[in-house]
Amino acid sequence: MSNMEKPNTDSKMSLNKINLSKWIEMGNTIPICINEGCENNVAIRHWSAQGDPSLKTECSRCADARKKNKNIDGITFHKKNYCENKDGMLGFICPMDKERYNEFPSDIYHMDHLDGNHHNNLTNNLITFCAICHTRKGKESGDFNAFKSSSRIHKV
């Protein structure tokens, strides 16, 4: 692969560092990972044109381990491998087959911030929904970009 074909990851990394520095200088913080026992900051998906981070709910280390079904000593994962709307808490029943929840890949399950604040990663503010229920909840409530094509959850 020639130099022209290689992705320029150095400039992307420095831009991420610049955005993070600006974010912190403005008095903002990056939340801590949702998993009990982890003190790392959550992973950042990307930065918006306005300079706001799109945040994950876990740090990269925890997300990688959970997806590979590996334990980390002293860490309890919060994200469930089933939809917590299985009994219809959102006013509709999850359409996924409850008996087969564990057969689906973990990325089909999303963490929902009950108060809509994506910086509030307290466990009592987080609930696990499948992508279908999370998107429907967002569309029906007008919550956090669920209906926008630029949203990270529009692909359902």
Other CB atoms within 10 A of residue 35 CB? 25
Rounded Cα distance, 136 and 89, in Å: 13
Predicted local distance difference test score (pLDDT) of residue 10: 59
Rounded Cα distance, 64 and 85, in Å: 25
Predicted local distance difference test score (pLDDT) of residue 144: 56
Predicted local distance difference test score (pLDDT) of residue 33: 95
Predicted local distance difference test score (pLDDT) of residue 13: 61
DSSP 78-100: -S-SS-TTTT-TTSS---S-GGG
Predicted local distance difference test score (pLDDT) of residue 142: 76
Predicted local distance difference test score (pLDDT) of residue 39: 96
pTM: 0.70
42: which DSSP letter?
Answer: P
| 118 closest CA partner among 61, 53, 48 | 53
pLDDT along the chain (156 residues), means of 10: 51 78 92 95 91 91 91 93 92 90 85 87 92 90 55 40
Cα–Cα separations (whole angstroms), residue 153 to 1, 17, 41, 44, 46 = 34, 26, 22, 16, 15
Q: Give residue limits of the domains in the chain.
A: 1-77, 79-156
